[in-house]
């Protein structure tokens, strides 16, 4: 008992699942990259850039404090001929620049400095300038010695403390930049690592999908090949059954009815001989004999059309010599028949299929082409046998070639004898049919 083939599952579900997984991986990785890049931009803009700007302002403050330190050193030099009040304008300019630098630095250092650090720096600067104001107050009152003493004991110490605080902030900024650089490098490393993982996962998905598709396609094509083989086997059986049935009907017509009509004709002939001349019965017998003979001729023609016994007796070439003029008379076509090459005997089975292809082709010319003439060429080539049927009718569009049962049967017959059938439109209008059969498939065994 033949095992029933299980239905083939479509690969569409697996492919769709693979596509969904791939798209989900792409979206997940895109989201991951977006988050990492956003964090990187935030880190660069809020930390690195702000630290850099903060460091520039701290260097500005440090430079102002150094200028103050140089000015106080000169003020302590007793050999200077200028009074202490002469440095007041310079201190005012330094104070203005220092205040501006502190304001900018405070706007950049909000995220980097603690409130205690900000409060200490602000209070220290305010106390320093209060001491400067007191020192200049003593100098304006002519108390230069007391003013210089205050510079030595108070202002220089406050200036050094401020410089130390600013230096400490610069060091913290540098450490923050190093940490930010380390975090950026870490983010880049993570993104690179995730990229490799994503590429590996994508390639794996593609490979698995391709393998699944290849396997599914192989199964589908194997199933198609099996179905094609079964279809070809079924077509062969149907054609064989058809030919067997037609052969049997043809023989029945030829043998049974032919013999009966032949016997009737003989009896009518004998009866006619024994009938007196001039008798009305003699004319009736003669007419009946002609009817029987006409019916016998029609039956023989029908028998040959159903299955040309001439193929078995005289071969393909002689059969076509008889068949083509017959079709010409019956269908009202003008047929131009041409044979070329050195003829060789054609095996009866192959001849039957060639005959049927020609029969169907001429039937199509008569019914569908609107042409009243056709060209038939039988070519005996060294390595093959070719049959061409050409008409100059309305033809067809190559992409819309008809798929009637007749064309299917012609192709099946061509495959049965190892040949090929090509049907193509002519550029000038009409249709060209070409049946090509290898010689070893067409030639009689032992010929």
Question: What tens digit of pLDDT does each residue of 180-221 get?
Answer: 778 777 877 887 887 788 788 878 878 887 788 788 788 888
pLDDT value, residue 110: 63
Residue ranges, the chain, pLDDT below 50: 1-5, 399, 445-447
pLDDT value, residue 254: 65
Burial 288-311 (b: 16+ CB within 10 A, else e): bbeebbebbeebbeebbebbbbbb
**Cα within 13 Å of Cα(319), Cβ side:** 24
Tokens of 336: 């131009």
pLDDT value, residue 111: 58
Handedness of CA 325, 331, 335, 341 (dihedral sign): negative
- Alpha carbon distances (Å) from 372 to 94, 160, 358, 388, 435: 116, 121, 16, 17, 22
pLDDT value, residue 283: 75
**Cα within 13 Å of Cα(387), Cβ side:** 25
Spatial distance between the Cα atoms of 64 and 91, rounded to a whole number of angstroms: 10
pLDDT value, residue 302: 74
pLDDT value, residue 3: 45
Please count the other Cβ atoms lying within 10 Å of the Cβ belonging to residue 431.
24
Locate the domains of the chain by residue range: 12-213, 313-442
Burial 382-391 (b: 16+ CB within 10 A, else e): eebbbbbbbb
pLDDT value, residue 434: 94
Going by their DSSP bridges, the two strands 384-391 and 420-425 should be labelled as unpaired
- Alpha carbon distances (Å) from 433 to 138, 323, 375, 404: 126, 18, 10, 15
Spatial distance between the Cα atoms of 250 and 245, rounded to a whole number of angstroms: 8
Q: List CB contacts of 33: < 8 A, sequence separation 6 or more.
A: 191, 194
Spatial distance between the Cα atoms of 353 and 385, rounded to a whole number of angstroms: 13
The CATH topology of domain 313-442 is: Heat Shock Protein 90 (3.30.565)
- Residue 433's beta-bridge partner residues? 389, 423
pLDDT value, residue 397: 53
pLDDT value, residue 446: 40
């Amino acid at each position: 008992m033949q095992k029933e083939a299980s239905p083939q599952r479509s690969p569409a579900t697996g492919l769709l699942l693979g596509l969904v997984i791939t798209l989900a991986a792409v979206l997940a990785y895109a989201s991951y990259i977006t988050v990492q890049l956003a964090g990187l931009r935030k880190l660069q803009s809020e930390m690195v850039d702000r630290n850099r700007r903060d460091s520039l302002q701290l260097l500005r403050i440090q430079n102002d404090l150094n200028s103050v330190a140089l000015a106080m050193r000169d003020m302590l030099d007793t050999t200077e001929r200028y009074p202490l009040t002469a440095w007041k304008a310079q201190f005012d300019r330094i104070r203005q620049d220092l205040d501006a630098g502190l304001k900018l630095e405070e706007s950049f250092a909000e995220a980097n400095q603690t409130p205690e650090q900000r409060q200490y720096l602000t209070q220290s600067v305010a106390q320093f300038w209060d001491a400067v104001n007191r020192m200049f107050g003593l100098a304006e009152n002519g108390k230069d010695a007391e003013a210089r003493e205050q510079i030595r004991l108070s202002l220089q110490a406050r200036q050094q403390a401020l410089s130390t605080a600013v230096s400490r902030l610069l060091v913290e900024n540098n450490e923050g930049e190093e940490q930010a650089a380390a975090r950026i490098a870490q983010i880049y490393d993570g993104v690179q690592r995730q990229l490799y993982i994503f590429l590996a996962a994508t390639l794996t998905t593609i490979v698995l999908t391709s393998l699944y598709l290849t396997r599914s396609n192989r199964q589908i094509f194997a199933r198609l090949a099996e179905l094609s083989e079964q279809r070809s086997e079924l077509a062969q059986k149907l054609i064989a059954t058809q030919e067997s049935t037609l052969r049997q009907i043809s023989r029945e017509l030829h043998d049974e009815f032919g013999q009966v009509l032949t016997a009737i004709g003989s009896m009518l002939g004998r009866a006619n001989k024994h009938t007196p001349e001039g008798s009305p019965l003699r004319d009736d017998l003669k007419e009946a004999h002609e009817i029987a003979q006409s019916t016998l001729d029609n039956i023989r023609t029908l028998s040959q059309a159903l299955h040309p016994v001439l193929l078995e007796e005289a071969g393909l070439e002689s059969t076509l010599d008889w068949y083509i003029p017959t079709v010409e008379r019956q269908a009202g076509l003008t047929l131009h028949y041409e044979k070329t090459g050195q003829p060789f005997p054609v095996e009866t089975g192959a001849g039957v299929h060639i005959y049927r292809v020609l029969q169907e082709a001429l039937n199509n010319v008569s019914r569908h082409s609107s042409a009243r003439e056709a060209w038939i060429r039988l070519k005996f080539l060294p390595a093959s046998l070719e049959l061409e049927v050409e008409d100059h009718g309305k033809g067809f569009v190559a992409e819309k070639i008809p798929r009637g049962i007749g064309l299917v049967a012609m192709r099946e017959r061509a495959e049965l004898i190892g040949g090929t059938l090509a049907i193509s439109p002519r550029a000038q209008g009409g249709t060209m049919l070409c049946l090509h059969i290898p010689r070893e498939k067409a030639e009689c065994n032992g010929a």
